[in-house]
Chain A
C-alpha cells in the first residue's frame, strides 16, 4: 500500500486574490517514521496545454528527520505564505496556468510520492474560443 499524503487548504472554496495569505496543513500516513528521508512542500504554478510544461515554485520548504524534535515527519504540519501578484490562474485554449500545493515525500529506499491540491488565484474567466476550423464544421 502506498503512503498517504493529506493536504488541506484552510479556505474551503480555494479561491484567492493576488497577495492574499494562503494557509495550508498537511500530514503523512501509512508509512513508518523511520522510512521517511525528507518531505518537501511547495506552493507552485505549472502550465498545461500544447506547449512544454513550465513550472515555478513560489514557496518551498524541505524538512528532514533532523529538523523535527522527535524525528517524525508524519505529524500535522501547517505553513502560510503570501501569494504573488501573478500569474493568475488561467484556462485558455493553448495555455492553462494551474496553481497547487504539492507535498512530496522521499523514502529512504529512493522512492518518492507526491500529492497536489489545486487552488485558484484571481477570477479570470475561462476563455470562450472556437477555433476557425471547428466553427466552420459547425
Chain B
C-alpha cells in the first residue's frame, strides 16, 4: 500500500470501480446524444438559411462547422462504442491480432509473429560501419531541445520586449506604472535565462563534433559479447568520456486529459571511461572495446503504452563546454528465441 496518497497520481489497483457494461452504455448514450445534437443544429442552421433568416455570414459558417463536428464526433463515438460494448477485451484483442496477420505484404508482420513486442532492428542495421558491421543511429534529443528552446525564447522575449516598451513609454511620459515595470523586469529576467539555455543548447548541438558508435552484430542477446567502436571528433579538452549500456523503462499514462510519459533508467553498465585527454581536428578519438550483455537482461519490449529499451550512451565532459550526452538505441532479443518455421 502506498505510504502517502497522491492526488494527481495514476490510480493503482483495480482499474474499474463500476460495471463495464453500464460504462459502455453511458459512453454510447453520450455519443448518441452528441450526434443527435449535431444533426439538429445542422438542420436548424440550414433551414434558417433556406428560409432567408440568415445569410452566408461568419455566424452561419461557425454554426455549420460546429454542428458538423458534433455530428462526426458523436457518430464515430457511437459506432465505436457499440462495437466495443458487446465483446470482451480478450476477444477484441484476438480479433485485432488476426487482422494484423492478414497483412502479408510486408516483412514486418512476419518478424512480429516470431518476436511479438520486440522492436524491429531494421532501422539500426541499414547503415554499415567503417570499422564494425553496423553504425548505430542516434536519438537526436539535442536537436529537439534546441528547437524547443529556440521557439520558447523567441516567443517569451517578444512578449518581454513589448512589455518593456510599454513600461518605458509610461516612464518617458512621466507616469511610471510600477506594476507594469515589475512585470516587464520579471519577463526580461526569465527571457535572459531562456536565451542562455538556448545558447548552451546551440553550442552543444553545433560546437561539439560528431559522435559515432559502431557495433559488431545486431540484435544483441543476453550473455553474449560484442565489439563496440566509438568515434568522437572535434576540438576538445576532454575531462571524461564514458560509454555505458543503459536499460530504461518507459510508461505512458493518462492524467486527466493529459497524456504523460515517464522514463526511468533501471540499470547502467559502464563499458569504458577515459579521463583527461585532448581531441584535435583531424585526430579524432577512436576506441574499440567489448560489450557484455548481462545474462539476466530483459529483452527490448515495446507495446502501446509501455516499453523496456536498451541504448548505448556516450557522455562527454569537456573544458569550457556544458556536459553532453548522446544516445544510440540497440535491440536485445530474448535468449532462448526459437524461430518458428515460416
Residues of A within 8 A of B (CB): 17-19, 40, 42, 44, 47, 49-58, 60, 62, 84-88, 90, 92-95, 97, 102, 104, 106, 110, 112, 122-125, 127, 129, 131
Contact = CB atoms under 8 A, between A and B. Distances in A.
Given A51-B251, A92-B266, A95-B308, 4 more contacts: A88-B299, A92-B308, A95-B306, A129-B266
A95 B307 contact: yes
B119 to A, nearest CB: 11
Contact of A60 (B94, B264, B338): B94
B116 A56 contact: yes
Interface in B286-342: 296-299, 301, 303-308, 333-334, 336-340
B338 A56 contact: no
Interface in B13-37: 15, 21
Contacts, number: 132
Contact of A55 (B10, B93, B298): B93
Contacts of B336: 17-19, 85, 122
Contacts of A57: 90, 93-94, 97
A127 to B, nearest CB: 5
The residue in A56, A60, A85, A112 that gathers the most chain B C-beta atoms within 10 A of its C-beta is: A85
Contacts of B298: 88, 90, 92, 124, 127
6 contacts: A51-B306, A52-B304, A54-B304, A56-B93, A94-B251, A102-B90
Interface of B: 10, 15, 21, 88-91, 93-94, 97, 114-118, 249-254, 262, 264, 266-267, 296-299, 301, 303-308, 333-334, 336-340
A86 B116 contact: yes
B20 to A, nearest CB: 8
B88 A56 contact: no
A50 B251 contact: yes
Looking at chain A's contact residues, the main secondary structure is loop
Contact of B116 (A49, A84, A90, A125): A84
Contacts of B10: 50
A47 B116 contact: no
B334 A54 contact: no
Contacts of A112: 88
A88 B299 CA distance: 8
A40 B117 contact: no
Contacts of B266: 92-93, 127, 129
Contacts of B114: 85
A56 B97 contact: yes
A3 B223 CA distance: 47
Contact of B115 (A56, A86, A93, A123): A86
B116 A85 contact: yes
A90 B334 CA distance: 12
A99 to B, nearest CB: 12
